[in-house]
Structure 1
Amino acid sequence: MNKVAAKRLVALGAIALVSGSAFAQAGASSVQLYGIVDVGYRHISNPDPTQAASQMIGGGMSQSRWGINVSEDLGGGTKALVNLENRFTTDTGSVAGGYPNGSYFQQSWVGLQGGFGRVTLGRQYNVLFDLVTSTYASYPYSPYMEAYKPEIGFSLLARADNMVKYTAEVGPIRGALQYSFDEKAATGGKTMGGYVRYAADGLAAGLGYQDYEFASGKKIKAWTLGGSYRTGPMYFNLGYGENKVDTNLSAADAGVLGAMWGSAANGGFGGGAMFLNANKRSIYKIGAGYQVTPQLNLGAHFFHAKQSGATSAVDASVNFLTFAADYAFSKRTDAYLELDNTKIKGGNITFANGATSRNGVTVGLRHRF
């Protein structure tokens, strides 16, 4: 072998070595297992006929879950992302499925992230839930109280199947767009929406909109606006949300709307025919939190919601008041106490048992890994 051939062989070998190393580096990936195990005791006054006054619940502060995050470096600043997340009830070990038929994975999506932003495909959080929980959540250490969450009843089920979501961030401004296919499902499910938010120096504010198309083609349209401010140990938040529904829904449509509005965890303000005959709902929220010590957090929140329809028979309003204390034994384990009161006004709307007022108390233990 002459010197020229030898030099060429060495050069080719070096190129192959560098290329192989670059490919190995670009293909580096990480897999993270994470989760929350939360169990609590909850007692309420004036329970409905199908409710127990006292019960163990598989998620007081947070819904219990386990999940897998996957990230693969594709090179050039681009990553492939995967998330699979299962929700369960700690008290029974059962899957905590979503409407209508239950889902083993409450999130199941794959995506790409780079200088262009992030694109994710699959079952995932909708833009309303993203905006509220990231921008003016009720509690900075846990976006809301799982056992008592009136604000989540306005987020159109919080997640959507068959979704394409695009998120981009420039400095303190972040925006997102979503679209999901209904695929001729009996419950519908086509959605469109987006949000824009600003966050810097402890201040965060945002505006979001999303609709949901029922199987009949009729729609529910929702929007939200709010903000928060954090300075030292203090946290303040306020927000507004609104749902508008087309009239004369089919029975299948009403079933979906009932899942959106009717839940004991959402304050019990929904579920019956008088609730579902409303075509507009709105909610105002205001709250504050204070970190007394590195371990102890206190928070209090007030929500006012009202609904209206074609006739005054469905007009009603409700006040929700909640107080929570959370004590962290460590970075991963905490205990909590929550007190709440629900008061329905208007004369025409009541709980299923005829009562208009209900008190609740929740105490529990949570571990995050």
Structure 2
Amino acid sequence: MIKVADLAWLEFEKPDLDRAEVFARDFGFTVAARGERELWLRGTFAGSPCAVVRRGRTSRFIGPAFRTADRADLDRLARATGGDVRDVDVPGGGRGVDLLDPSGFPVRVVHCAEELPELPGQRPLPLNHGTDPRRTGSAQRPAREPARIQRLGHVVLETRVFGRALDWYLDTLGLIVSDFLFFDGQRDRGPTMAFLRCDQGALAVDHHTLALHLGPGTGYVHSAYQVTDLDAIAAGGEYLKERGYRRSWGIGRHIQGSQLFDYWRDPDRLMLEHFADGDLFAHDVEPGWAPMSTTGLAQWGPPATRDFLGASPSPRRIREVVSALRGDNDLDLARLIGLLRAAHS
């Protein structure tokens, strides 16, 4: 129907906005706006905010908002879906269309009236490379401070209706596939994870803006935010650790997307990622295919933790599995066995 240009922001609910703001500042966000019932967070790059946290009864992810470069896309999308173009309460103002994806996530497509201005950011440290010294006569001392967020990178979602959700994002928002993953021995049944990027023609963009994977539940997995470099990731991680936050997995370098990564849990156990140095693809890069496995998640780094993989059984997870196996979705017994094997391979 249209081709979105990027993620705009992510929407969350939390019961305690003061505690949410403390973590957000420690993680490296800047507050763009704060009211009694909502908190807008941004990075240092010019553009839209990264996230909005609204006051609610529980801590939960609501859904993503995607940005369109052309205001006319909203009218075209509204006509095609039977929706309405409405005002959006983003700082600076904007208009948007509210949709619902096949998994049940509210998805907002927006066009912002004004961009937030650029803020001062962290400078990358000059590095000496063998015979190419770029730093002489001075010591390297990265500050122990929050890894200042530059921008929102991507969000990862779990869904029982993987095929329908994948088709919806391709057809409705114009996303394209960078990489497919499949369960070992089940490639003939198609993919079970897809890394999707925006199609901006010859302009190279993030390897993935959205990733979807098949699972027994429907929900948020993690969101990722770009920082300056590896030192920002590491020093920012030390800062978070000193303040009592819990690392989920890291530091390492991914395979699909190539990002340097470090995953953390906020006080309500939602997972967020610091990343740097990710792949950038134009529209002409064909999708890759690879088997899904734990060892296939990283080129180097510590082994993926059970916390990151969600591999520890819980009553809630057991209920999700039972419900999924009884329902009309993409998860059957063979797929479930493939998922379990992938988590331990």
- TM-score (ref. length: structure 1): 0.28
Structure with the largest fraction of helix: 2
Structure of higher CA gyration radius: 1
| TM-score for the superposition, normalised by structure 2 | 0.29
